[in-house]
Chain A
Amino acid sequence: SYVLTQPPSVSVAPGQTARITCGGNNIGSKSVHWYQQKPGQAPVVVVYDDSDRPSGIPERFSGSNSGNTATLTISRVEAGDEADYYCQVWDTSSDHLYVFGTGTKVTVL
């Protein structure tokens, strides 16, 4: 089955930029979605189809996808961005269909 690999943790100071990677074989050929999950809450989609933002999501959240790596970038990080982040793809090459990444804990220093 298709595997998505994320770094377990990313630390960033307020006001700086956080970059969360999601590695997968030829992931650039797939659409990648990103979810934010704060403690005790359900996840929320922050970027879909590689780089689109749902209404209500700040422009500080952006995404890119090429080759074997997709990236979620959070600019001007705020304390409220501290959360777990998961990437996700739709993999039609197997029966597993929807695949989530391993998750990245973003800590705001």
Chain B
Amino acid sequence: ETGVTQTPRHLVMGMTNKKSLKCEQHLGHNAMYWYKQSAKKPLELMFVYSLEERVENNSVPSRFSPECPNSSHLFLHLHTLQPEDSALYLCASSQDLGTDYSNQPQHFGDGTRLSIL
């Protein structure tokens, strides 16, 4: 496999459920990201990991809990979500975080379409 793979592609869950989203990248990248994409809104950065260390939590509610066991895998654990959390959740990776004002391009997975009942 190549690129960035996300599972599941679709997820429907109740507000009291616990589920996890999985992301795996086969690009040898060192940085990984979680984004939320809602209709008519820009992509919202949620978390950033560099070499398995979380370097950014963009004011995300604690009902979203990320985990990065190694540089190839990233998880997003979900617990007690709200209806407004229904969205497309995208994982991305880049070679590294870049330098001041200069980024490496980010490569995205196909996303998980999450629906909260």
A and B associate:
no
A contacts, CB < 8 Å to B: none
